[in-house]
Structure 1
């Protein structure tokens, strides 16, 4: 018998920042954040202007009013009559990504590929004004991904005004209920718009579905009117705040309660629930404790621990998580775990424990793209299979789409995870101003030898009796200590006194060479 897992949404809101934590049995499972002008723009709808068409990539750069140009592929502007998309929204449609816009490509279904003779240059031209929606927010140096296939998500339905088909979330498994919902939506439609019936609609009566359908259609009509009157680029519709999206996507079927520490967010949530699901208002609690809410629920430390490269396992082993520009590499090590019987058993148990932790960390950190996992080598094929199956089971909690491949000949597991928003590290961190994101600095010994070579290089142009070298205090200490032979060697070679001068404000790799006449 499966025990019920308690789930809570903890919301910390200030004027410039809103943070949402999903706790599962008191443990941080997912983390979302919006800050000031850096809000997640997924779901926003814009009147945009085409800047540049790229026939070689079958794509275009589009101005939506941000510093970075947005990017659109030919598959996202191609549109055929509704019968052509019958295969997209079928009876196996998946639920949209939580706390993200409900886009077609988040239903684990393929976007229709245009015929070979349909080219981006036939569909778009420079200066053209188009209606687009952000399907993926800017991530790092990459601009927003956009589409002309608009979707407007509600609590029970997702309106797809550019297609004419009705699909039902595959998480509704009972055939009779699936048929009831599909027939209801088809009978309620007044326009040939497409709809996806979300999991939350299971058991919902006709009146609620009709009310939401009217609201979504009215919203679409408002967007069209704004498009007709606005000058490009212009924002026509802003998606919900992160707190409302979290409440909409988690409260009914996932979270048992919501705890929020700000009056205005509490009021916003209560008003929102009053419109779409009044019975859930009792699940919302206003936090009034004196301790900061993230401290009271032990979240603050967990968030910052999720930024660490090394994650310790209970057994004494550990995993190393190394995100790069193109992929994420995860390495498993036994660490201090020596086992009780033999090496194969030690490795197998470490890998099993690591599989659970890796699935948890991928979800918590919101790692996306290509992920390569290097488990410790196992001699037995049966053990490799058990580790693979365990990892696959642990990843089932993850709402983001993942694709997992078995162990390769090199003993690696390759997987992909849908990237829909920035990782926790990208949200909270920026490249190190010391190493510019390289992750390494020159060693102090290397810097000392660099100073030696630079002085020798410049010595012919220096005529003073003394040479002053300004350096970071750590380098000064080393030149007076472990590497004092660098200084004495220079003095002997050049016949001049070398004075080391520490400058606290210097970067550790920085130094300046001056002569004293």
Structure 2
């Protein structure tokens, strides 16, 4: 059973996918004015640099987009001043603008309208289903001027559902082209429902039983999205409580635990995940795994458990780019094959393009995973400048939200006026520098707040002060009220 939890806080959208009550994937996206993958823009070519075969395009945003030029992309004839329709492939990073392509696509649940060819194409995951392919080829209503990519979800529905979606998507595509022709300036033409629409297309399936969200606009969008989808039977629920949805369903705690670099495996071994400037490095250790009768069996058992957990952690944390795994040394070909099979199975349903390379002579496995969005770390951590080093801390705004949720929980059980908070001393300047802003963040304007800044405190603590004797002991810690 799969459940999807959708929480929106101002400009932050968070989506958690649980399978059998275990966190399977987590998406955190910041809704901003910056271009996002999948959006389609009208642009004007401003500059072409032949040396790097690249065109720079004004799409109406702060930074010009860049597009590689090549015959295989069908854009080798472009010149300065040309108006073009482009799709965002990668969002802007630092001083680099967004990467775009002139081969635009309009995705649906069962098919994708494509422009890079005019054929009927099939997802690689349904390559072996020849009967299905033959049936689709003879019954599909395909427009002449576009191609169609058949997605794996099409396996679960009737041909009428597929043709109906093609009709809807083609109408959207023609409207995009029309807007592009009549628009005077570069601008956004299509966003596909934004981050929410893009993610829902990937994660909702026949196993999804429940979707819970806390925003009325999102509720209406999801309701329309799942309507008349014959392969979906989803209970959609609106969440109304004051406490954050992720906190109420204990997802917040699970997300926070992802800051830990070490993950313990069922057999007693562990994996350690570290981020360098260029890549992620995952080390596999046998640690306390002493159940097997030989070193080889212990190594294989630990490696297999690690491979399975690594797939889960990579998807939950949204790790991308180059990922290097240092497995415990194994020299047996069959053992390596078993480990590779576990990795392939674990990423089989991954919607991002993931390539797993064979073992090297040093027993390392390299994974290349397509970047889309930021990792969990980017949203819950920030640089800590206290010691002028390169350390990280939980973002101040994030830990303030966690404290606020704890106060909301307390208010359910007690009618409290005084609150005691323990927090790491690295937040002392943030809190005491603007006490009123902090009090507003934690929604405690009607309380008396006492804060104890602790050295090397791993987490934080929030407690109600129920007795006068408690208040008198910590009167010197009072910051508000």
Q: Please state which band the TM-score falls in when normalised by the shorter chain.
A: 0.7 to 0.9
1:25 maps to which residue? 20
Identify which of 153, 168, 176 aligns with 2:107: 153
Cα deviation for residue 134 of structure 1 reads 0.7
Identify which of 182, 199, 204 aligns with 2:137: 182
Q: Return 339-348 or 406-415, whichever deviates more.
A: 339-348
Partners of 2:32 and 2:363 in 1: CA distance: 44
Partners of 1:371 and 1:273 in 2: CA distance: 35
Cα deviation for residue 266 of structure 1 reads 1.4
Cα deviation for residue 238 of structure 1 reads 1.6
Q: Deviations over 1:470-513 (max 9, x none)?
A: xxx99xxxxxxxxxxxxxxxxxxxxxxxxxxxxx9xxxxxxxxx
Structure 1 residues 184 and 434: CA distance shift in structure 2, 3 A: farther
> Are 1:408 and 2:403 counterparts?
no
Q: CA RMSD of the aligned region, Å? A: 3.2
Identify which of 73, 77, 102 aligns with 1:123: 77
- TM-score, length of structure 2 as denominator length: 0.72
- TM-score, length of structure 1 as denominator length: 0.68
Q: Return 203-212 or 28-37, whichever deviates more.
A: 203-212
Partners of 2:13 and 2:255 in 1: CA distance: 14
Cα deviation for residue 23 of structure 1 reads 0.9
1:143 maps to which residue? 97
Partners of 1:421 and 1:413 in 2: CA distance: 24
Q: Deviations over 1:28-58 (max 9, x none)?
A: 1111233331677111111112233222222
> Are 1:418 and 2:418 counterparts?
no
Q: Deviations over 1:197-224 (max 9, x none)?
A: 2233336445434433332222222212
1:55 maps to which residue? 50
Cα deviation for residue 146 of structure 1 reads 0.7
Identify which of 315, 324, 335 aligns with 1:372: 324
2:421 maps to which residue? none
Partners of 2:299 and 2:96 in 1: CA distance: 39
Any idea what SS the aligned residue of 1:284 has? strand
Structure 1 residues 191 and 389: CA distance shift in structure 2, 3 A: closer
Any idea what SS the aligned residue of 2:351 has? coil
For structure 1, the residue ranges without an aligned partner over 5 or more in a row are 1-5, 80-119, 441-472, 475-503, 505-517
**8 Å contact 2:286–2:302 — kept in the other structure?**
yes
**8 Å contact 1:311–1:318 — kept in the other structure?**
yes
1:257 maps to which residue? 210
Partners of 2:55 and 2:299 in 1: CA distance: 50
1:479 maps to which residue? none
**8 Å contact 1:139–1:421 — kept in the other structure?**
no
2:283 maps to which residue? 331
The structure in which a higher percent of residues are strand is: 2
Q: Return 163-172 or 332-341, whichever deviates more.
A: 332-341
Q: Deviations over 1:61-87 (max 9, x none)?
A: 3232333332211248832xxxxxxxx
> Are 1:226 and 2:200 counterparts?
no
Q: Deviations over 1:328-360 (max 9, x none)?
A: 211122334455645444433332222221111
**8 Å contact 2:267–2:289 — kept in the other structure?**
yes
How many residues are matched? 395
Identify which of 151, 158, 163 aligns with 1:198: 151
Any idea what SS the aligned residue of 1:407 has? coil
**8 Å contact 2:385–2:391 — kept in the other structure?**
no
Cα deviation for residue 412 of structure 1 reads 1.3
1:454 maps to which residue? none
Cα deviation for residue 282 of structure 1 reads 4.9
Partners of 2:143 and 2:303 in 1: CA distance: 55
For structure 2, the residue ranges without an aligned partner over 5 or more in a row are 393-424, 427-452, 454-481
Identify which of 376, 393, 403 aligns with 2:345: 393
Structure 1 residues 141 and 203: CA distance shift in structure 2, 3 A: same
Structure 1 residues 405 and 436: CA distance shift in structure 2, 3 A: farther
Cα deviation for residue 270 of structure 1 reads 1.2
Any idea what SS the aligned residue of 1:422 has? coil
Any idea what SS the aligned residue of 2:307 has? helix
**8 Å contact 2:47–2:57 — kept in the other structure?**
yes
2:67 maps to which residue? 72
**8 Å contact 1:18–1:33 — kept in the other structure?**
yes
Partners of 1:76 and 1:263 in 2: CA distance: 46
Q: In the TM superposition, what are the counterparts of 1:258-297 in structure 2 within 5 Å?
A: 258-274=211-227, 276-277=228-229, 280=232, 282-288=234-240, 292-297=244-249
Q: Based on CA coordinates, which of the two structures has the bigger radius of gyration?
A: 1
Any idea what SS the aligned residue of 2:73 has? coil
Identify which of 29, 39, 43 aligns with 1:44: 39
Any idea what SS the aligned residue of 1:56 has? helix
1:482 maps to which residue? none
Q: Return 333-342 or 218-227, whichever deviates more.
A: 333-342
**8 Å contact 2:110–2:153 — kept in the other structure?**
yes
**8 Å contact 1:76–1:148 — kept in the other structure?**
no
Partners of 1:374 and 1:279 in 2: CA distance: 41
> Are 1:14 and 2:9 counterparts?
yes
Identify which of 302, 321, 331 aligns with 1:350: 302
